[in-house]
């Protein structure tokens, strides 16, 4: 058994590292041809060797065991959705890892200089085990099914229940899904993801401050309490405000809410009151803004479903790629018929105007090719640029739109003027 550091290359981002994790591989680029350097360095690895993944300017992010030589593959073309130009790959059983490259074990913590080439051998077993141990501690050593960290499974369960949930309810759902999974100590994971939890600072592997609207993958829940009852619900900045996690020079952390602007405060009230509009006189600037934002809140729909869609699609419109969150809406494919229809595979994240066209049946998604189709009388408009474009799909196949739902949407929308076979 040998130990190697392997540089994952460019882009040096969490998104590219997550693709390595999701596909359970380590990759290499070079010329993308048989026999080139990428082919050689991956096939030099032996089954059972340890590989430690490194991200430029960040540090060590994962450690795993190389699988057999039969798992090596040279892709004739880049895998769909790949963020890198790497075409060589080999399977890895990732044992310990962080998902955010900002949580990496730095070269200073590892007491080792950054790698100067794609693959480097670590001659000292003690040094290799030290780095692996630090990655294990940073990730908590907590893995669930399919190599996923426990906090991810906890987050998934909390969202799937579609309402404020207790620790016991999350534990019961995870245990039902995976009877062999150890559901103990779930509360720390819920606290770690709750942006307003005053004890979350104790559960962070890296003592770095951040705002709750910075896009960190762990900032996904909001904690509420009534008496002795504690509940956790999907975090929505427009509803729950912006929270700051901050550490002092001695590493002591605190959590506090960032003061809201007038518009942000109005958005909070609009969300909370969107189901109870009263036609009373507008008697203040705040009340006026609240009414405008209430209309927006109602169009965007039930916030739990929207949060689910924002996460699934990486806060980008599936059709246009628009990343302006304020105009992104959660579109039901099969119309809303209650909480049971608020499923990821029954939704699309769409820019508001695209959502309108989708609901009117002027735009639809081909369930066989996952491409955009438009009514023929849309030809010549600004929207025709999206005709035939393949939509951006979520990273998790479980969140992909169900083809049967898309087919039903097409059937329910007919007949539509301008729709014809082309």
Measured over the CA atoms of residue 115, residue 116, residue 121 and residue 124, the dihedral's sign is: negative
Instruction: Encode pLDDT of 318-361 as tens digits.
Output: 999 998 887 898 898 987 554 455 678 889 999 999 999 998 88
Statement to judge: residues 53 and 118 lie in one domain = yes
Structural domain for 271, as ranges = 262-299
Does a structural domain hold residue 103? yes
Task: Please indicate, yes or no, if residue 419 is contained in any of the structural domains.
Answer: no
Whole-number Å distance between alpha carbons of 352 and 175: 38
Angle at 72 between CA 69 and CA 73, to 5 degrees: 155
Distance CA 403, CA 408 (A): 9
The C-alpha angle with vertex 71 and arms to 66 and 72, in degrees rounded to 5, equals 95
Whether the ω angle into residue 333 lies within 30 degrees of 0, i.e. cis, is no
- Looking at residue 336, its pLDDT comes to 59
Helices (H) and strands (E) in the chain, counts: 13, 16
420 part of a folded domain = no
Work out the pLDDT band at 237, boundaries 50, 70, 90.
confident
How many Cβ atoms from other residues are within 10 Å of residue 49's Cβ?
Answer: 17
Query: Residue 255: its pLDDT value, please?
Result: 92
| CA dihedral for 344, 96, 86, 112, sign (positive or negative) | positive
In the structure, what pLDDT confidence band is assigned to residue 391 with cuts at 50, 70 and 90?
A: very high
pLDDT of residue 311: 82
Highest mean pLDDT among 46-55, 94-103, 265-274: 46-55
Does residue 150 share a domain with residue 68?
no
- pTM for the model: 0.38
Euclidean distance between CA atoms 264 and 149, whole angstroms = 34
C-alpha to C-alpha distance for 177 and 163, rounded to whole angstroms: 18
**How far from 387 is each of 52, 54, 217, 313, 363, CA to CA, in Å?**
43, 40, 33, 20, 9
* CATH number of the domain encompassing residue 113: 3.10.590.10
Is residue 108 domain-shared with residue 174, that is, in the same domain?
no
317 is a domain residue: yes
Rounded Cα distance, 403 and 192, in Å: 36
Pair 283, 323 in one domain: no
pLDDT at 416 over 50: no
Say yes or no: 290 and 279 in one domain. yes
Judge if 321 and 407 occupy the same domain: yes
**In-domain check, residue 162:** yes
Structure tokens at 332: 């039901």
pLDDT at residue 45 is higher than 50: yes
133 and 11: one domain?
A: yes
What is the model's pLDDT at position 145? 38
* pLDDT over 70 (residue 266): no
Q: Establish if 30 belongs to a structural domain.
A: yes
Mean of the per-residue pLDDT values for the chain?
A: 81
Model pLDDT, residue 366: 95
Structure tokens at 258: 């960032």
Considering the domain architecture, whether residues 157 and 267 belong to the same structural domain is answered as no
192-202 pLDDT, tens digit per residue, is: 889 999 888 87
User: Which of 92, 126, 141 is where one domain is finished?
Assistant: 141
Is the pLDDT confidence value at 372 over 60?
yes
| 48-87 pLDDT tens trace | 899 999 999 899 999 999 999 899 999 988 888 889 999 9
Parallel, antiparallel, or unpaired for β 363-366 and 59-66? unpaired
83's torsion region: left (phi>0), alpha (psi -120 to 50) or beta? alpha
Supply the CATH number for residue 216's domain.
Answer: 1.10.10
Contacts of 206 (CB under 8 A, 6+ apart): 102, 103, 138
Residues 6+ apart with CB under 8 A from 1: 46, 48, 49, 50
What six digits make up the tokens of 48? 């059972």
Pair of tokens at residue 41: 């360095």
- E strands within 111-161? 119-121
Q: Mean pLDDT throughout 253-262?
A: 79
CA distances from 14 to 83, 97, 104, 208 (A): 11, 12, 10, 16
Domain boundary among 114, 141, 168: 141
In the predicted structure, residue 170 carries a pLDDT above the cut 80? yes
Q: Are residues 275 and 336 in the same domain?
A: no
Q: Looking at the structure, tell me whether residues 154 and 137 fall in a common domain.
A: no
Same domain, yes or no: 31 and 129: yes
Residue 206's pLDDT is 58
Strand partners, 27: 89
The number of distinct structural domains making up the chain is 4
| CA dihedral angle for residue 356, residue 234, residue 219, residue 10, rounded to 10 degrees | -40
Last residue of a domain, one of 120, 141, 162: 141
Give one DSSP letter per residue of 267-308, joined into a string.
HHHHHHHTT--------SHHHHHHHHHHHHHHHH--HHHHHH
Residue among 45, 56, 65, 72 at smallest CA distance from 114: 56
- Look up residue 159 and give its two tokens: 């969202």
d(CA 147, CA 280): 55
pLDDT tops 60 at residue 286: no
pLDDT over 70 percentage in the chain: 79
Tokens, residue 309: 């869609």
Same domain assignment for residues 195 and 127: no
pLDDT at 151 over 80: no
């Amino acid at each position: 058994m040998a130990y190697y550091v392997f540089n994952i290359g460019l882009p040096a981002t969490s998104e590219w590292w997550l693709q390595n994790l999701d596909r359970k591989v380590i990759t290499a680029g070079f010329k993308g041809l048989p026999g080139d350097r990428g082919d050689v360095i991956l096939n030099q690895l032996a089954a059972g060797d340890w590989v430690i993944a490194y991200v430029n300017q960040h540090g060590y992010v994962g450690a795993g065991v190389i699988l057999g030589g039969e798992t090596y593959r040279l892709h004739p073309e880049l895998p769909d959705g790949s963020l890198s130009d790497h075409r060589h790959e080999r399977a890895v059983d990732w044992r310990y890892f962080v998902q955010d490259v900002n949580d990496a074990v730095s070269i200073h913590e590892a007491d080792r200089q950054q790698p100067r080439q794609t693959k480097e051998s670590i001659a000292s077993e003690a040094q290799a085990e030290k780095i692996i141990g630090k990655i294990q501690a940073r990730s908590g050593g907590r893995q669930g099914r399919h190599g996923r960290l426990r906090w991810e499974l906890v987050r998934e369960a909390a969202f799937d229940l579609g309402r404020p949930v207790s620790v016991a309810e999350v534990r019961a759902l995870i245990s039902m899904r995976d009877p062999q999974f150890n559901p103990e100590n779930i509360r720390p994971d819920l606290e770690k993801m709750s942006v307003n939890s005053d004890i979350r600072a104790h559960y962070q592997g890296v003592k770095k401050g951040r705002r709750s609207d910075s896009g960190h993958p762990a900032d996904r829940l909001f904690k509420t309490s009534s008496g002795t009852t504690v509940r956790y619900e999907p975090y929505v900045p427009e509803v729950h405000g912006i929270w700051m996690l901050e550490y002092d020079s001695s590493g002591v952390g605190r959590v506090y809410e960032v003061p809201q602007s007038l518009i942000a405060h109005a958005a909070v009230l609009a969300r909370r009151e969107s189901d109870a509009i009263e036609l009373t006189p507008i008697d203040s600037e705040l009340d006026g803004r609240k009414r405008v934002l209430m209309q927006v809140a109602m169009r965007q729909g039930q916030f739990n479903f929207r949060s689910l869609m924002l996460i699934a699609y990486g806060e980008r419109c599936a059709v246009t790629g628009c990343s302006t969150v304020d105009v992104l809406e959660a579109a039901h494919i099969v119309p809303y018929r209650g909480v049971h229809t608020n499923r990821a595979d029954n939704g699309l994240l769409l820019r508001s105007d695209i959502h309108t066209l989708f609901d009117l049946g002027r735009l639809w998604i081909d369930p066989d090719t996952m491409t955009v189709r438009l009514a023929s009388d849309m030809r010549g408009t600004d929207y025709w640029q999206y005709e035939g474009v393949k939509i951006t799909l979520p990273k998790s196949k479980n969140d992909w739109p169900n083809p049967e739902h898309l087919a039903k949407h097409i059937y329910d929308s007919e007949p539509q003027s301008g729709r014809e076979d082309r």
